[in-house]
Amino acid sequence: MAQVIAIANQKGGVAKTTTVVHLGVGIAELGQRVLLIDLDPQGHLAEGFGIVSDKLETEVSDVLEGSKRISDIIIPGIRPNLDLAPSNIRLSDMELTLVNLRFREYKLKRAIEPILDRYDYVLLDCPPSLGLLTVNALIAATQVLIPMASEYYSMLGVSLLIKTIDTIKREANPDLSILGIIHTHHKRTIHAREVVARTKAELGREIRVFEQPINDSTRFAEAAGQGTTVFEIAPDIEGAHAYRQIAKEIVYAAE
């Protein structure tokens, strides 16, 4: 059965989608079968692979409302060993509809259960909020990976997310655990180094803080604009090496 990892942080601009894309590809390169599921109405996950999200005829909102099965919307083989369940702006309307549905927090969990034996890893790209879509992800997931920009205010937001994860674990998903924190948008500044050190000091005893920060680079934006990854256009930058190393640590730790 697949490990289901929610990549979550209610703060925007912390490289959640970039992390999903690059860890997804990195894990798939290690021979693991990977499914990426986009729960962000912005649809950037599809765009990151060169797929125009607004032109999708079926996507995740169809699954959550029950008109399609998850297998009906999966785009297979976007990379070797890598499939995609995309979303677009229609998912915003679906989140409002979810409020009025029974068992609304469990829609995603029930939707993906039939296909979990097809994959080794399922990565969930969560929206920048703690709304129903993120709650669905946390209930469906076995682990949470938290991208956190190396900035003071981002560190404060992670504390709120951890409390939410603890609540979900206590009340709805006792199997949920935190896989770790990845420092993203890392700059070579004293402030960034202080944030990393403080994160390790305050959270590192209970939560893993990955050693490899993802250094800021315009190459990530360039790759996204080209519908590809930095592995293809700039494989030697530090961020590419860091994502590949984290992918290895995730896979090898699970073996």
Domain ranges of the chain: 3-254
Q: Which two three-digit tokens encode residue 74? A: 């999966």
Q: Which two three-digit tokens encode residue 229? A: 């990854």
> CA-to-CA distance for 165 and 58, rounded, in angstroms?
30
Low-confidence ranges of the chain (pLDDT < 50): none
- Backbone φ and ψ for 157, nearest 5 degrees, come out as -65, -30
H/E stretch holding 84 = strand 82-85
| pLDDT (0 to 100) of residue 96 | 81
| Crossing angle of helices 218-225 and 16-29, rounded to 10° | 80
| pLDDT (0 to 100) of residue 159 | 87
Do strands 143-149 and 177-184 pair parallel, antiparallel, or not at all (unpaired)?
parallel
Q: The domain 3-254: what is its CATH number?
A: 3.40.50.300
CA distances from 95 to 40, 84, 215, 239 (A): 10, 20, 33, 33
H/E stretch holding 75 = strand 75-79
| pLDDT (0 to 100) of residue 61 | 94
For the segment 19-35, what is each residue's pLDDT rounded down to a tens digit? Answer: 999 999 999 999 999 99
Look up the pTM and report it: 0.96
